[in-house]
């Protein structure tokens, strides 16, 4: 997962000007453990929406990538993957 904030927020070494990755982890964990989704595409979109709505900071872009190991596909592969790229700027 990648979260971009406006450049004004990253010009100094101040934790108040960025996102808290523990909070982001908890948002993702809550969605995966407490909700049921049929599509990883929908899950990725939902996670991006939750992160964006959680912060009042000017987030300009969120990229959520979800990998599903052992996807039920008849073939040789390590995982199925989806990426959602949301621009808010």
What does the pLDDT read at residue 82?
A: 95
C-alpha pair distances (Å), 45 with each of 12, 50, 77, 79:
30, 9, 24, 19
Q: What is the pLDDT of residue 81?
A: 92
At 18-65, the pLDDT tens digits run: 788 899 999 999 999 999 999 999 999 999 999 999 987 778 889 999
Write down the residue that tokens 């599903």 correspond to: 68
The most confident of 58-62, 72-76, 84-88, by mean pLDDT? 84-88
29 catalytic? Reply is: no
- In angstroms, the Cα distances linking 10 to 2, 19, 22, 54 are 15, 10, 18, 19
- 73 pLDDT band, cuts 50/70/90, is confident
- Catalytic-role residue among 11, 29, 50, 68: 68
Say which residues have a Cβ less than 8 Å from residue 28's Cβ, sequence separation at least 6: 1, 47
Confidence at residue 84, expressed as pLDDT on a 0 to 100 scale: 95
Gap between the terminal Cα atoms of the chain: 18
**Overall residue count recorded for the chain in this entry:** 89
């Amino acid at each position: 997962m990648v979260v971009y904030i406006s450049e004004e927020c990253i010009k100094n070494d101040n934790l108040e000007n960025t996102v808290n990755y523990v909070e982001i982890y908890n948002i993702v964990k809550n969605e995966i453990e407490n909700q049921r989704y049929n599509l990883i595409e929908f899950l990725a979109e939902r996670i991006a929406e939750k992160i964006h709505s959680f912060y009042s900071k000017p987030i300009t872009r969120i990229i959520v990538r979800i990998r599903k190991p052992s996807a039920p596909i008849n073939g040789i592969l390590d995982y199925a993957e989806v990426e959602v790229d949301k621009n808010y700027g």
